[in-house]
Every structure is written in structure tokens, then in C-alpha cells.
């Protein structure tokens, strides 16, 4: 199995960048990373996340294979598919794999904390004299949001298959979850950010909706709540769609 040589990778990256007359800052801006990160790559101190390999190769006008080998490869010396696969697998260094696993743990922890916060809110509302029946609509919204959050935080895959990076695909299907957004192509450059939008949206809505319910009651009673509860759901969904498009397009 071929092992990635960090120093060779860094020197090749630096040479190709200079060949394109780009500064480290210019390359970093195209990849949505910092120039310090590019500097670390070129000095061989770290390797880019595997999801950045295709974008880096595209910007520098080389193949992923050449990028990982740290040298130009002639047509007659092209690597076979299995060796390319091994290169890609090994390019995801230990720190990157640990980072992905740690992020998943953090989101699972955030999900559990959100459940605890929601239970606390229900108890406080009951203590204040509000019955479960009165807060039923609010609880249904929070429950549905937590249901979706459980999938986004626990079961959703943070990496998409590689064919998403090679083709313009505007839908993702993972298990019971399906998302289709016209005009937005999903890939490993934007999928993590899109997932973050969904995770933050579902968890924050689950927590904040009971508070919104309580404030509505204080201001205008049940009459006001009966009006704003429907409007608020529409506004939230529109906000989610807009945020997804903005983030997805930014990192597309």
C-alpha cells in the first residue's frame, strides 16, 4: 500500500501553486481555508482533508493521483484503480479522521443536551400554570424537530460518495432522509456545511419554540398564539431553505 509522503506532497503543491502564479493566500481563498493552513501543507506539517483533494487538484490543474504522488505522471505510467483508491484512503490522515469522529460525538452530545433543555422547559411551563394541552402545538413542533435532529446528529453521513464531486447532483438520499434542491449541487465541499445548517436549525427550533410559545401567551394570550403559531412555522421553513441555498452555494 502506497504511503503519502507529506514533504513530497508539500513541495509539489508549492511548485504547482507557483506555476499558476498564485500566492498562498489566493489558493487558500479558492479553497475556503486560511493561508496558514496552505503553509502547513507546503511545509509538510499536515495533509488536507480528503474532501479538499479534488478542489485542490482542480485549482492547480493536476490529477488527484499526481497530487498525492507529489509528481507529474505521464499517460503510460498512470496508476491502476486500486492504487489510486489506496492513495485517497491514506490521504485522510489520523487527525482528520479523529476530527470527523469528534464532530459527530459533539453533535450527539448537543442533541442529548437539547432533550434535557426541552424537558426542563416543559417542567417550568407546567409550574407556571400552563397545561400540557395548552402547550400541545408547541410540543409537537419541538418533538418533530428533535426527531429530525436525531437523524442529522446521529445517523447522517458527513461524507458523500465521490461521484458527487464529479457530477452536478442536486439531491441526497441517505436511508429515510431525502433532500432535493433545484439549482444547488451537493458535494463534499458543501455537504458538511449544509448538514450543520440542518443540525443547528432543528436543535435550536426544538429548544426555542416553547419559549416563543410562552412569550406569545404573555403578550396576547391564546388568541395571539393561534395566529402566530402557523405564521412562525412558515417563516422558519422559508428561513431554512434560504440558509441552505446560501451556504450550499457558497461552498459549492
pLDDT in tens, 132-141: 988 999 999 9
- Which residue carries 439549482 as its cell? 183
- pLDDT per residue over 60-114, tens digit each? 988 887 888 888 876 545 555 445 545 555 555 445 566 777 888 999 999 999 9
Q: Are residues 174 and 56 in the same domain?
A: no
Secondary structure class of 244 (helix, strand, coil): helix
Residue 1 belongs to a domain: no
Q: Are residues 128 and 145 in the same domain?
A: yes
User: Cβ neighbours of residue 38 under 8 Å, at least 6 residues apart?
Assistant: 13, 17, 24, 27, 28, 31
Residue 152 belongs to a domain: yes
Q: Are residues 130 and 246 in the same domain?
A: yes
Q: What pTM value is reported for the model?
A: 0.65
Taking a C-beta distance cutoff of 8 angstroms, is the pair 210, 121 a contact?
yes
Q: Are residues 43 and 115 in the same domain?
A: no
Q: Identify which of 194, 165, 158 has the alpha carbon closest to the alpha carbon of residue 58.
A: 165
**Number of domains composing the chain:** 2
Q: How far is CA 136 from CA 145, 198, 210, 218, 222, in A?
A: 14, 24, 10, 17, 12
Q: Are residues 30 and 143 in the same domain?
A: no
Secondary structure class of 120 (helix, strand, coil): helix
Q: Are residues 148 and 242 in the same domain?
A: yes
Q: Which domain holds residue 213?
A: 99-250
CATH of the domain at 86: 1.10.260.40
Q: How far is CA 92 from CA 218, 224, 252, in A?
A: 53, 53, 21
Residue 35 belongs to a domain: yes
Rounded average pLDDT over 147-173: 87
Amino acid at each position: 500500500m502506497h504511503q503519502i509522503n507529506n514533504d513530497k506532497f508539500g513541495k509539489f503543491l508549492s511548485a504547482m501553486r507557483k506555476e499558476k502564479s498564485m500566492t498562498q493566500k489566493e489558493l487558500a481563498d479558492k479553497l475556503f481555508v486560511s493561508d496558514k493552513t496552505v503553509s502547513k501543507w507546503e511545509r509538510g506539517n499536515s495533509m488536507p482533508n480528503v474532501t479538499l483533494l479534488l478542489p485542490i487538484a482542480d485549482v492547480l490543474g493536476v490529477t488527484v493521483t499526481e497530487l498525492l504522488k507529489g509528481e507529474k505522471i505521464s499517460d503510460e505510467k498512470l496508476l491502476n484503480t486500486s492504487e489510486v483508491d489506496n492513495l485517497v484512503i491514506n490521504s485522510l490522515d489520523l487527525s482528520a479522521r479523529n476530527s470527523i469522529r469528534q464532530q459527530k460525538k459533539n453533535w450527539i452530545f448537543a442533541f442529548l443536551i437539547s432533550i434535557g433543555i426541552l424537558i426542563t422547559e416543559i417542567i417550568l411551563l407546567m409550574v407556571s400554570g400552563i397545561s400540557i394541552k395548552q402547550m400541545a402545538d408547541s410540543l409537537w413542533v419541538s418533538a418533530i424537530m428533535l426527531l429530525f435532529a436525531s437523524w442529522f446528529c446521529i445517523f447522517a453521513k458527513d461524507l458523500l460518495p465521490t461521484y458527487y464531486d464529479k457530477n452536478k447532483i442536486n439531491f441526497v438520499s441517505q436511508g429515510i432522509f431525502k433532500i432535493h434542491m433545484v439549482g444547488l449541487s451537493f458535494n463534499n465541499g458543501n455537504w458538511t456545511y449544509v448538514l450543520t445548517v440542518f443540525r443547528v436549525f432543528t436543535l435550536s427550533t426544538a429548544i426555542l419554540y416553547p419559549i416563543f410559545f410562552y412569550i406569545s401567551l404573555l403578550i396576547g394570550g391564546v388568541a395571539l398564539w393561534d395566529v402566530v403559531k402557523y405564521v412562525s412555522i412558515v417563516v422558519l421553513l422559508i428561513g431554512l431553505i434560504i440558509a441552505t441555498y446560501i451556504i450550499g452555494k457558497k461552498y459549492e
